[in-house]
Every structure is written in C-alpha cells, then in structure tokens.
Structure 1
C-alpha cells in the first residue's frame, strides 16, 4: 500500500444516484471479467484472496482487507487457487466525477485493512435490502456514500496511527473494548508487553497523558454518551462505564463538566428539536 498519507486535502463531494451491497463466494480458482468498472466499488475480502488486474496491472488483495475500485478501468478478477473466497461489495453509482474528485480518488490506495465498522455498515445495507429497500432509496444511497467516506477516513486514520507506537495502539484498542472492566496499569502492561514505566513514557509521548488518565477520560466520554442516548439509570450507567459507584460517577462527571448527571440528562432532553 501507499505509505504517503494525504491529510491536507478535503475529500471531494460526489452525488450518489444508487447504491447496492452484495455477497458472493467463489470456489478455488474462480475468475470474473473482464469488465469496465462502472461505479465506485468497495470490495470486502473476508476469506481467501483476490487478485484484480486493473488496466493490465495485477494487484493482490488479501483476506480481511477492503479494496476501492474506481470507475472507467478495465478489470479482471482471479480468486484464490487453494480455497474458497468469500467477498462482499458495495457498488456506489454516482454522477460523473469532477476532475478534482477523480484525481482524489485515484490518489487513494487500492486496499486497506477491513474494520468492524465497515462490516457493520455493510450488514446494515444488506439488512435494509432484505427488507425491501431499493438501491435508489435515500437511506441506501446515504449508506453507500457513507461507506466511501468511511474508507477515506480510515485510510487517513491509518496515517495518524502509524505515528504512534504499536504498544499504544494495542493499549488503546484494549481500553476501547474493555473500559467497563476493572482495568489497571498492570493489565495494560501485560497486554502490550511493556513495563509500566515504559508504557507511561510512551503514553506521555503519544497521548499527552498516562494510560490511566486516558482510561478515565474514555470512561467519562462513554458515560456522557450513555446519559444522553439511553434511559438507563445513573447506577447502571456508572457500572457500564467502569465506575465503582454511582457517587464516584456523579462526582467525576461534575468535575469534568460542571454539571451533575441529572442536569446533563435534563439539558439534553430539553433541547429543542430542529428540522
């Protein structure tokens, strides 16, 4: 993949006319094409592998990666010789791209690692289609466009993450998944394979705070999200967000926001609805 990450140019606008998510399994040695790619198309390779020949140049996309195919190119697909290849795709038909938009898309890498978020978005599109939504329905088109935006965002995020130490990325992943558990510095040290002292130094360098400060900051963020988006009581939110007691949760929220959890919830529900 391209090692240069372009974070200074804003992603281009484009008008989606239809979108569709599909799935297919090819047996060993399967082939498809040639064809001229008509749309922006995301191909999610789940198992096996895919080699796509684009304008005569071969590129191999491994499993658990997602490829972005651009319109107007001749493509021929060759799938793993040794095992089945399961892939899904999101085809996003758009009005003709402006030259700057076409140049932007052509500057993106052919493939990046496949994330859970992209899988969830694809699941949602397929579920809507199974319920009878047409490829031109507004919600399906919006999800198709969102998938393209997500590809761009995750590519740019890779550039930011490449500047962080791998131990930091491992610790952040663990915190984001297990923030509600009884986590401590020793747990993060074990997960990352770094001594507590080394991990603290790395966190100060890459995050500007200690691992435990980051953990509590994340717990506050998730607690606030639950306050504003659910009807759970304060005790339930405190437990889910990793706080020992509802008193500890309330005191910490007040220290960070100047408001009590009840005030935050009232403020959120009293906001006027705008069209």
Structure 2
C-alpha cells in the first residue's frame, strides 16, 4: 500500500512557520531553490511563478503548494500591490515514494476558511508566543492535511467552488468598494440565497461575513507593514468611519487598531 504523506511525514517535520508580505507593483522575488514544502496564499494582486522554467499564473483566492528541490522565480502584478501569506514546513529526508505522493497533489486550490484560520493562528502564535515551536509544527502538519482534504472536496464540488471563487475574486479585487450580497451573487451567477447556502456549507461563513473578515485582514497588513494613518487605512479597506473600523477590528482580533500597531512596532524593535 502506498504511504500517505501525512502518515509518514509528521515525525519528520523539523519546523514550521508562517509569514505575510506585501509586494509593491512590478516586484520580483528569486530565483531560488525551494527548500521546504510551502503553502502560498494569494490574497490580492497577481502572481506568476516560474517553476523549473515553466510559468504558472495565479489570481487572488488561490493557495499554491510549492515543493522542495524546484527552481522558482516570482513575478508580481505591475498594476498594484500584491499581498500573500505563506506557511512553510521544513522536513527531514523524505523518500522517493513520499515525493511521488506529494507530486500527485494539485499545484493550487481555492483558499478555504480552514486554511486561513490556520495561517491566522500561526502568525498570532509567532507574534505573541515565539517559543511555541512544537505547536507550530502541529499546525504546519494540519495545514498539509487540510490542503489534501480540500483537494478531495474541490474535485467533488467543482461547480460549487466556481461560484464561490467568483464571489471571492470580486471581494479580493473590490473589497474597498461598497459590495452587497446581491452584487456578489450576480457576479457568481447564482441567487443571493443560494450563494449564502454555498458559503455556509463550504466555507462555514456567509458571503458578507467573508467580506468583512477580508477587509480586516487587509487592514491588519496595512497596520503592521505600512505607515498609513488609521483613518486612511479604514477608508482604503472599505470602512465608512474610523469608529466602525476600530469596532470591527476589535471584534475580530480582541485589540484596537492602535494596540495592534503598537504591538507590531514593539515586535520590530525587539528583532
């Protein structure tokens, strides 16, 4: 019987970590040789990755599985910023049989709410509890498990995911604009009621809640990686007032925008 990558690889995981980065328009990264298994979450912008000389284009809402030993060159959108997060899993020696199992996995899938939550937790742990390496290893393994399970679900529900993906793509491109459930449903090609059902069944949330969560995620990136004012960030991320911005951010993170920026500043000073 073929070995499952998850059954044999957990004890081989040496470390796991997560990161987040915003690339300016027209940026490039690499070339490099990939050392780890890495899940790259493309949240906004556009990304082209040349893997062993073959170009692959990715749009927002995609999570890409990169594997060790391959030559990579990243090129990002020349029409605006590109934001992605990543989870990197560093393993010891893996067998040819295990490599073959990983090679059978798809290069990319839609980003699920479950994978997003794992990335959230890992980033939070690294920030607040930098010594929690054992937990990070477990979360890195969980991310691979979820990716594999999402592959099965994606294949079974391909048509469902296409509607969800269309709605997500609109959110990722126009999150700063006033978006309604009807607008998202029209873009997805289904009724508002059906879109809500699809999101609840497959994403464990609703389209509107997904929109606000995405706006908060974008705001957190601007708070911790730019010098934009809180007022400018709130407007840029689709919030009508700074009060609404602060209240929503606190509901999602437990901290105010000012506190998040202060903690980020202190963290950078201690590095």
Interval of TM-score (by shorter of Structure 1 and Structure 2): 0.5 to 0.7
Q: What is residue 103 of structure 1 aligned with on the other side? A: 100
The farther-off stretch of 10-19 and 100-109 is 10-19
Q: 1:89 aligns with which of 86, 105, 126?
A: 86
Distance in structure 2 (CA, Å) of the matches to 1:162 and 1:18:
33
Could you report, residue by residue, the CA deviation over 1:101-134 in whole angstroms, capped at 9, with x for unpaired residues? 1001111111110111111110000111011334
Whether 1:156 aligns to 2:152 is: yes
Where is the helix percentage greater, Structure 1 or Structure 2? Answer: 2
Flag structure 2 segments of 5+ consecutive residues without an equivalent: 164-189, 196-200, 202-271
Q: What is residue 139 of structure 1 aligned with on the other side? A: 135
Matched residues, number: 169
Whether 1:55 aligns to 2:66 is: no
Q: 1:118 aligns with which of 115, 118, 132?
A: 115
Q: What is residue 191 of structure 1 aligned with on the other side? A: 193
**Structure 1 residues 52, 189: CA separation in 2 closer, same or farther (over 3 Å shift)?**
closer
Query: Does the aligned pair in 2 maintain the 1:45–1:62 contact within 8 Å?
Result: yes
Q: Secondary structure at the match of 1:46?
A: strand
Distance in structure 2 (CA, Å) of the matches to 1:81 and 1:124:
31
Distance in structure 2 (CA, Å) of the matches to 1:20 and 1:48:
23
Could you report, residue by residue, the CA deviation over 1:71-95 in whole angstroms, capped at 9, with x for unpaired residues? 0000000001101000000110011
> Which is greater in Rg?
1
The TM-score with structure 1 as length reference comes to: 0.56
Query: Does the aligned pair in 1 maintain the 2:65–2:108 contact within 8 Å?
Result: yes
Q: What is residue 212 of structure 1 aligned with on the other side? A: none
Query: Does the aligned pair in 2 maintain the 1:133–1:140 contact within 8 Å?
Result: no
Q: Secondary structure at the match of 2:106?
A: coil
Q: 1:43 aligns with which of 34, 40, 44?
A: 40
**Structure 1 residues 108, 26: CA separation in 2 closer, same or farther (over 3 Å shift)?**
same
Query: Does the aligned pair in 1 maintain the 2:43–2:84 contact within 8 Å?
Result: yes
Q: 1:11 aligns with which of 1, 4, 10?
A: 4
Query: Does the aligned pair in 2 maintain the 1:47–1:86 contact within 8 Å?
Result: yes
Could you report, residue by residue, the CA deviation over 1:5-35 in whole angstroms, capped at 9, with x for unpaired residues? xxx9763221210011000000111100000
Query: Shift in Å at residue 165 of structure 1?
Result: 11
